[in-house]
Amino acid sequence: MADKVYRLSRLIERQIIRTLARCRVEGVGNVPPRGPLIVVSNHLSNMDPAVLMCSIPRRLHFLAKRELFKPGVAQFLSAYGAFPVDKDANHDLKGFNWCRKLLERGGAICIFPEGTRHPTGGMRQAIPGMALLALRTQATILPVGITGTEGIGPIWRIFLPTGAFNLRIGQPFSLPVIEGRLQRPQLESFTTMIMQRVAMLLPLHYQGVYALSAAGSTKEGPL
């Protein structure tokens, strides 16, 4: 049932985006066709999960804030592939374990490490729980940069999206195996490295706190 809801939702959303907006996707060939996958993206609007779902040829799952799981909506969100988490995702053990089990089954999950939307465009400091998940599961990480969705506005506009959206998919990579207990500085270092990979896929004014490190570590240009 859940897969049917996901496929139908993706079909409808693709048609809506194609009809009302312009969406350019680059790097689809970089998506691993199978195996545990963590899709890591910047987060600009409520439209981002739909754009990712329509652009990445894998069955995606998402973490969503618990406040969205209201009566009458919770069942649809669960079938869509979302799992409720607290705002402070660093201390949400149920969410972490759900992600870990899904990855152990070879699934794909999309994470917005900034924790919330930032419609002004610039990337904010990421929550390190994403790096811990990648280290514990050794799942492949797929960096994605999104631009243009920040102009969508209120949540109801996901049904009437207008404008030009760009989604750039980077090269997949994995973190090294770390023996023993992880130290906080190590975790923060891995988090920064992952977010740099996302920032490298974005124009400079979208890179936010990762602008200097991203500019100094790649020769790739903006979208």
Read off the pLDDT of residues 164-187 as tens digits, 9 standing for 90 and up: 899 999 999 999 998 878 888 899
Averaged pLDDT, 87-100: 78
| Burial of 116 (C-beta count, 10 Å sphere; 0-12/13-18/19+) | exposed
Is the pLDDT confidence value at 5 over 60?
Answer: yes
Q: What order of strands is seen across the sheet that includes strand 60-65?
A: 21-26, 163-169, 140-147, 37-41, 108-111, 60-65, 82-85
* C-alpha distance from residue 95 to each of 16, 35, 91, 149 (Å): 31, 20, 9, 26
CA proximity to 140, closest of 59, 30, 51: 30
Is residue 20 within 8 A of residue 161, CB to CB? The reply is yes
pLDDT of residue 176: 93
pLDDT given for residue 168 in this prediction? 97
User: H-helix or E-strand containing 63?
Assistant: strand 60-65
Closest to 60 (Cα-Cα) out of 113, 10, 16: 10
* Residue spans per domain, the chain: 2-215
Neighbours of 211 (CB within 10 A): 16
Q: What is the pLDDT, as a whole number, of residue 66?
A: 83
Task: Give pTM, 2 decimals.
Answer: 0.88
Q: 218: pLDDT confidence band, cut at 50, 70 and 90?
A: very low
Out of 65-74, 121-130, 154-163, give the one with best mean pLDDT: 121-130
Question: What's the pLDDT score for residue 219?
Answer: 39
